[in-house]
Amino acid sequence: MPTASKAPSSRATADDNTRILDAALLQFQRVGVKKTTIEDVAREAGVDRVTVYRRVGSRDNLVTAVFSREVALVLAELALIPERHGNIGDLITEMFMTVLNRWRAHPVAERMLMVEPERVVMKLTVDGADIFTMAVAATTHAMERAVERELLAPASDLTARAEIACRIVHSLILLPHATLELETDSQLREFARTYLLPIVTGLPA
Q: What is the mean pLDDT of residues 176-189?
A: 91
Q: Do 148 and 51 fall within a single domain?
A: no
pLDDT digits (tens, 9 = 90+) for 84-111: 999 999 999 999 999 999 988 887 777 7
29 and 124 co-located in one domain:
no
Helices 129-148 and 117-124: crossing angle, nearest 10°?
60
- Please give the residue that has the higher pLDDT: either 136 or 125: 136
Q: Does 64 lie in the same domain as 161?
A: yes
Query: 85 and 52 in one domain?
Result: no
Domain CATH number, residue 24: 1.10.10.60
Q: What is the mean pLDDT of residues 32-50?
A: 94
Domain span at residue 25 reads 1-57
Mean of pLDDT over the chain:
88
Give tens-digit pLDDT for 48-76: 999 999 999 999 899 889 988 988 899 99
Number of domains making up the chain:
2
Mean pLDDT along residues 155-179: 92
Residue 17's alpha-carbon distances to 12, 29, 53, 58, 61, in angstroms, are 9, 18, 11, 14, 12
Do 171 and 83 lie in a common domain?
Answer: yes
Question: Same structural domain for residues 50 and 133?
Answer: no
- For residue 114, the model assigns a pLDDT of 72
Residues 31 and 119 reside in one and the same domain: no
Q: What three-state secondary structure class fits 49?
A: helix
Q: Give the C-alpha distances (Å, rounded to integers) separating 73 from 17, 50, 61, 70, 99.
A: 16, 27, 18, 5, 11
Least-confidence region, from 11-15, 23-27, 192-196:
11-15
Residue 169 pLDDT greater than 70, yes or no: yes
Say which range, 9-18, 147-156, 184-193, has the weakest mean pLDDT.
9-18
pTM, two decimals, is 0.80
Opening angle at CA 70, ends 64 and 73, nearest 5: 140
- 67 and 23 co-located in one domain: no
Q: What pLDDT, on the 0 to 100 scale, is given for residue 1?
A: 47
The CA distance from 104 to 73, in Å, is 15
Co-location of 51 and 64 in the same domain = no
